Amino acid sequence: MAGAATAKPDCLAAKDLLGIEPLSRDEIQLVLETADTLSDVARHPIKKVPALRGRTMVNLFYEASTRTRTSFELAAVRLSADVVNISVQTSSVVKGETLLDTARTLEAMSVDFIVMRHGSSGAPHTLARNLKASVINAGDGQHEHPTQALLDLYTVRQKLGGIEGKTITLVGDILHSRVARSNLIAFTKMGAKVRFCGPPTLLSDDFSTLGAEVHHDLKTALAGADVIYVLRLQFERHRMGLMPSVKAYTQRYAITPERVKWAKSDALIMHPGPMNRGVEIAHEVADAPRSVIVDQVANGVAVRMAVLYLLEAGRTKRAAAAGGAS
Amino acid sequence: MSAGGNGRATAPGGILIRRGRVIDPASGVDGEMDVKIENGKVAQTGANLDPGGCSVVEAKGLVVAPGFVDIHVHLREPGQEGEETIATGTRAAALGGVTALVAMPNTVPPLDTPAMIAYVLSRAAQDGVVRVYPAGCISHERKGEVMADLAGLREAGAVVFTDDGNSVMNALLVRRAMTNARLLATPYAEHAEDEHLVDAGVMHEGRVSLKLGLAGRSTLAEDVIVARDLILAEAAGAHLHVMHVTSKRSLEMIREAKARKVTVTCEATPHHLVLTDEAVGEFDTAAKVYPPLRSEEHRRALVAGVKDGTVDAIVSDHAPHGPLEKEVEFAQAATGMVGLETMLPLVLEVLVRPGEIGLPDLVRLLSTSPARILRLPGGTLAPGSPADLSIFDPEAAWTVDPRTMASKSRNTPFAGRKVRGRVVHTIVAGRPVVRDGALV
Amino acid sequence: MASRGPVPAMDATAIDRALVRIAHEIVERNPDHLNDLVLIGIPKRGDNLARRIAASIGKNAGIAVPVGVLDITMYRDDIGSRASIPKPSDLPGSIDGKTVVLVDDVLFTGRSVRAALDAVVDFGRPRSVQLAVLVDRGHREFPIRADYAGKNLPTPSGANVKVELSETDGRDQVLLEEAP
């Protein structure tokens, strides 16, 4: 089909959103542009559009997260979908229902979308393979958190006018961060330069094989950066011997007002939340004018609406093609 | 020793296998000739033999080799009969050209007492269609704490000692077990992965594990155990057999130890020779195995190790698992893949066809050497040897379809793969077990 | 098996005359509400038509009628089956109590207008909603009718009616392509 290859997509090609990795640059651009329109809905007198009316979305969270879950819930209801929340308590002692059994139960209830957060990398992939429903990865183990990367892209685009050619430096526990991995893929795909900075035990040099610039010195990592992206410090790492001590970390890597100056004068401050104020990020930095942490949250709803809408558009399109002309 | 058998009568007058390419490295034979089998033994080999009263098997265009001896197989009986039994596992073996196999002792309960060894032998005599030799545990309950009754295990019929599935972490226990093993003229076999260094890893530690956000198992974990065991084996004068070696560094150490005449042997699996960590793809649990599939650098070193003789034997490490154990999150999934029925075509693909080794070397790796390592009967077609034969067509094209496998389990990353090389006839103790590619 | 190819059903002059007539009719039929008229066009040609009608009303009746754009992508019953990415709507202020005239290029099954009505009521509570279209080609699947139609063009349902405007397509014409 002549010209088909160059046609811009009008929906997401895959049934699921399991990561940023499978998305094309055009698809990412589509999500961002659609989010522009959908962010407007929050300003209408009726903060709803009927696009997903009659559809059911299940929040299947094996790890607690009020912020992400609420964001997805708002996104769904603004599109007129119905939402069911399932918080699964997992412990190694109480096995409970297997992932596959959960999937089959949800399938039997004709659910359309499943937003899943799980502690094991690849868990949403196992679910998606066995379900007709669309699975959205809200964070799997240490692997990916695609909607976070999309809303981060959206925020940078909104505040800096574009992503191409920008330098973004992520600081913290990169090794265990799915946000870092997704952002590396996302920002690189959109033409930005990604730098990672952290202690050697939390950031091995192997990360350069994935396309990031690896730094262990904060000053060189921040030099000329357009965005300082601060990752949450997880205190358990200290007990495992991966971090000498919280103090040793903050001495070298905490983002303070003085260190912010090492980056560009108008550099953005970002954080996926929740913040440990005073630890990885100073109070003044979190609340500074250049901090767009609050915008990230607001943009999260619009971006998630866009993802839901575009997945639905893809489903409808495939169903129409399969069922013949309407 | 166990005899594979199910009471079927030997073909009256024996069998004459005609005009096949007979490859028997133990006798230095490689050429077109006939093989005559009588009374469960190889009676005669040579050109234009008189069939006498024998039934004739035409083998023109086929390779006639001593039956493969797979010294690393998990039969899952007793305890996990849902995944595989001695009956189904030995049938899968026969389809793969394997006429004798060593059953690993990590069953439920494990093979850590003479009674359990006797149990497996008796079950195999009733249900098995190929020869089954049990391995005995090094430690009681495979816990790596208290040594098992190695002498008792040997006497009951164990042919090798191993805690396969885990390394013995206590070096003093290793030293003592090796000393005993030497006294019992039995090899000590190690699954080399340091329990602490693997750090809850679920695949090879490398670029792919980093990208997928999965905890990694470094080759360092294999190297430190191999290094330790080489030192201890040399000191004890014991025969160390390193199971499923995968690391470049470990191969170097084994090569160097062999040069210094340390009694060490090692084995490699087809999946480690053919696949890399990339096979995990989108969290495909069929590719989850310990030791894990390594990066290309290590895979190439392993192929080189086979080529230069550092690797002595090729084994399947056949590890059946049901869907309940595999269709879960990658980190939770059981490890291992079935392999008896795909072993031959895969090693032909990665070693013989590209010219790394010839067919005689292949037969040596699959049959002659493994038999020699564990001092098992077989592995040769010299007259007087047991009539265990694997007769295969190295060019036959087929597609791997788990649904048609004899194994009870279907867990393989090779499903759908187009391969070449298939077993046509398998003969055990002079009785055909597989004829024209199907179980008799 | 020669298909005839698209045939012009209206040329630039005919379109212009039709829009002027619609503009007159709107004024004539809303004598008491000329100051709360709002023209809302449905992209991607309805909005340009709305602007032209507003300009005509301005010229002939001296009334500046506000014009808005209403994106109905989110309200369709077939999202994904057409290639359209939602764009923000742009309404000139509140529509509460206003006399809204929806403007579209072609009225066919009526589904687009149904979606537009759903969208309009989500934005506010107009006093009344009327519909102006350049071409009415019949084959309604919903009980929708045009208050103002530039041209009635009965067509077989398999045929294709395409409106081209200089703002979007470089020239003004209405093309009718017979079904193969």
Under the banding of pLDDT at 50, 70 and 90, the label for residue A239 is: low
3-state class of B404 per DSSP? Answer: helix
How many other CB atoms sit within 10 Å of the CB of residue B219?
24
Does C55 fall in a domain? yes
pLDDT tens, position by position, B357-404: 999 999 999 999 999 999 999 999 999 999 999 999 999 999 999 999
Q: Describe chain A by its helix, strand, coil percentages, rounded to 5.
A: 45, 15, 40
Convert the pLDDT of each residue in B77-125 to its tens digit: 999 999 999 999 999 999 999 999 999 999 999 999 999 999 999 999 9
Q: What's the domain count of chain C?
A: 1
Residues B367 and B430 reside in one and the same domain: no
Indicate which CATH number applies to the domain containing B38.
Answer: 2.30.40.10
Any domain includes B393: yes
Tell me the mean pLDDT in the region A9-14: 91
A·B CB contacts under 8 A: 58
SS3 content of chain B, % helix, strand, coil (to 5): 35, 25, 45
Residue A325 domain flag? no
Looking at the domain assignment, is residue C6 inside a domain?
no
Looking at the domain assignment, is residue B381 inside a domain?
no
C122·A34 Cβ contact <8 A: no
Whether the bond into C88 is cis, omega within 30 of 0? no
What's the CATH number where C72 sits?
3.40.50.2020
Residue B231 neighbours by CB distance under 10 Å: 16
Same domain, A251 and A264: yes
pLDDT-based confidence at C179, cuts 50/70/90?
confident
A43 in the same domain as A168: no
Domain count, chain A: 2
Q: Are A10 and A134 part of one and the same domain?
A: yes
Rounded distance between C-alpha atoms, residue B13 and residue A320, angstroms: 69
Our CA dihedral for C107, C111, C112, C117, rounded to 10 degrees, sits at 110
Q: Give the whole-number percent of chain B exceeding pLDDT 90.
A: 95
Chain A hits for B282, Cβ within 8 Å: 18, 122, 125
**pLDDT, tens digit (0-9, with 9 covering 90-100), for C22-78:** 999 999 999 999 999 999 999 989 999 999 999 999 998 999 999 999 999 889 877
Residues A32 and A117 in one domain: yes
The pLDDT assigned to C90 comes to 92
Asked if the structure places residue B81 within a domain, the reply is: yes
Query: Please, do chains C and A touch (3+ CB pairs < 8 Å)?
Result: yes
Count CB pairs under 8 A between chains A and C.
59
Q: Do B283 and A206 touch (CB under 8 A)?
A: no
ipTM: 0.86
pLDDT at C2: 55
Confidence class of residue C82 from pLDDT cuts 50, 70 and 90? low
- pLDDT of B157 higher than 50: yes
In a domain, A179, yes or no: yes
Asked whether residue B147 is domain-assigned, the answer is yes
Residue C127 lies in a domain: yes
CA distance A91 to chain B (A): 13
Q: Are A199 and A216 in contact (CB under 8 A)?
A: yes
Same domain, B284 and B413: no
Domain match, B271 and B415 both: no
Neighbours of chain B (3+ CB pairs under 8 A): A
Q: What are phi and psi for residue A255, nearest 5 degrees?
A: -90, 105
Q: Which amino acid is at A17?
A: L
Indicate if the pLDDT at residue B352 is higher than 80: yes
Choosing among C69, C77, C111, C122, which should be mutated to test the A contact, i.e. which has the most A CBs within 10 A?
C122
Chain C residues with CB inside 8 Å of A45's CB? 122-124
Chain A residues touching residue C80 (CB < 8 angstroms):
10-11, 312-317, 320
Give the number of other Cβ atoms within 10 Å of residue B160's Cβ.
29
Q: Return the residue of C nearest to A305 by Cα.
A: C74
Give Dmax over CA atoms of chain B in angstroms. 66
CA-CA distance, A162 to A159, in Å (whole number)?
8
Instruction: Find the domain containing B30 and state its range.
Output: 15-64+386-439
Residue A324 covered by a domain: no
Query: Is the predicted pLDDT of residue B35 greater than 70, yes or no?
Result: yes
Contact C80 A313 (CB under 8 A): yes
Residue B255 and residue B264: Cα distance in Å, rounded?
9
Rounded percentage of chain B residues whose pLDDT exceeds 70 = 97
Q: Is B7 contained in some domain? A: no
Residue B297's alpha-carbon distances to A37, B103, C94, in angstroms, are: 49, 31, 68
Tally of residues, chain A: 326
| B191-201 pLDDT, tens digit each | 999 999 998 99
Nearest chain A CA: its distance from C48 CA (Å): 20
Nearest CB among A126, A207, A210 relative to B283 is that of A126
Judged against a pLDDT cut of 70, whether residue B8 lies above it is answered with no
Model confidence at A1: pLDDT above 60: no
Of A58-62, A239-243, B247-251, B278-282, least confident by mean pLDDT is A239-243
Task: Tell me, yes or no, whether A170 and A127 share the same domain.
Answer: no
Instruction: Please check whether residues B352 and B220 belong to one and the same domain.
Output: yes
CB–CB of C79 and A40 under 8 A?
no
Q: In this structure, are residues C148 and C130 in contact, taking their beta carbons and an 8 Å threshold?
A: yes
A84 and A78 in contact (C-beta within 8 Å)? no
Query: Is A320 within 8 Å of C81 when comparing Cβ atoms?
Result: yes
Q: What residues of B are in contact with residue A207 (Cβ under 8 Å)?
A: 210
- Asked if residue A221 and residue A101 are part of one domain, the reply reads no
* pTM score of the predicted model: 0.87
Mutation target to probe the A interface, by most A beta carbons within 10 A, among B205, B207, B212, B219 is B212
C180 neighbors C4 (Cβ within 8 angstroms): no
Q: Looking at beta carbons, which residues of chain C come within 8 Å of A312?
A: 79-80
The tokens of A151 are what? 């809303």
pLDDT band for position A319 (50/70/90)? confident
DSSP code at position B368: I
In the structure, what pLDDT confidence band is assigned to residue A236 with cuts at 50, 70 and 90?
low
Distances (CA, A) of A204 to A212, B57, B408: 11, 61, 43
Residue C175 lies in a domain: no
Same domain, B109 and B154: yes
* Chain A partners within 8 Å of C89 (Cβ): 40
In this structure, what CATH number is given to the domain that contains residue B267?
A: 3.20.20.140
Residue whose C-alpha is closest to residue A144's, from A187, A181, A197, A185: A181
Shared domain check, A152 and A50: no
If interface means Cβ-Cβ distance under 8 Å, which residues of chain C face chain A?
Answer: 71, 73-75, 78-81, 83-89, 118-119, 122-124
Average pLDDT over residues A85-100: 65
Q: What is the CATH number of the domain that holds A175?
A: 3.40.50.1370
Across the interface, do C122 and A46 touch by the CB < 8 Å criterion? yes
Q: Which residues contact B143 (CB under 8 A, 6 or more apart)?
A: none
Is the domain of B107 the same as that of B180?
yes
The model's pLDDT over A248-271, given as tens digits with 9 standing for 90+, comes to: 899 999 999 999 999 999 999 999
Task: List pLDDT tens digits, range B126-151.
Answer: 999 999 999 999 999 999 999 999 99
Domain annotation covers residue A93: yes
By CB atoms closer than 10 A (0-12, 13-18, 19+), residue C113 is: buried
What was the pLDDT predicted at A143? 96
Specify if C160 maps to a domain.
Answer: no
| C84 contact residues in A (CB cutoff 8 A) | 10
> CB B331 to CB A130 under 8 A?
no
Mean pLDDT in residue range A204-217: 94
User: Can you give the residue range of the structural domain that contains A168?
Assistant: 146-292
User: Span B236-250, mean pLDDT?
Assistant: 98
Nearest-CA residue of chain C relative to A13?
C80
Residue A235 in domain = yes
pLDDT band at A3 (very low <50, low <70, confident <90, very high): very low
Q: Which residues of A touch C114 (CB under 8 A)?
A: none
A213 within a domain of the structure (yes/no)? yes
pLDDT, residue C156, reads: 87
Q: How far is C16 from chain A (nearest CA, A)?
A: 33
Q: Residue C14: what pLDDT? A: 94
Nearest CA in chain B to A124: B329
| Residue A96 belongs to a domain | yes
Query: Could you tell me where the DSSP H helices lie in C62-110?
Result: none
Whether residue B402 is found in the same domain as residue B420:
yes
Contact B89, B123 (CB under 8 A): no
pLDDT at C147 over 90: yes
Same-domain status, A100 and A170 = no
Q: Are the Cβ atoms of C79 and A51 closer than 8 angstroms?
A: yes
B340, B373, B406: which is the final residue of a domain?
Answer: B373
Tell me which DSSP letter residue B364 carries.
Answer: I
Tell how strand B418-428 and strand B389-399 pair up.
antiparallel
- Terminal-to-terminal C-alpha distance of chain A: 22
Q: Within a domain: residue C170? A: no
* Residue A95 pLDDT exceeds 70: no
User: Quick one: closest CA in A to C78, which residue?
Assistant: A316
- B363 in the same domain as B297: yes
Give which of A211, A203, A206, A200 is closest to A175, Cα–Cα: A203
Task: Give the domain range for residue C117.
Answer: 13-79+86-154
Nearest Cα neighbor of A34 from A54, A11, A55 is A11
Residue A157 and residue A24 share a domain? no
Is the CB of B206 less than 8 angstroms away from the CB of A206?
A: yes
For position C79, what pLDDT does the model report? 72
B279/chain A closest Cα distance in angstroms: 14
The verdict on a CB contact (< 8 Å) between C122 and A317 is no
Our count of domains for chain B comes to 2
**Is C40 part of any domain?**
yes
pLDDT category at A44 given cuts 50, 70, 90 is confident
- Is B420 found in the same domain as B283? no
Q: Do A144 and B324 touch (CB under 8 A)?
A: no
Is C166 among the domain residues? no
Indicate yes or no: CB of C80 within 8 angstroms of CB of A11.
yes
Q: What order do you get walking across the sheet with C148-152 strand by strand?
A: C67-69, C37-41, C99-107, C128-136, C148-152
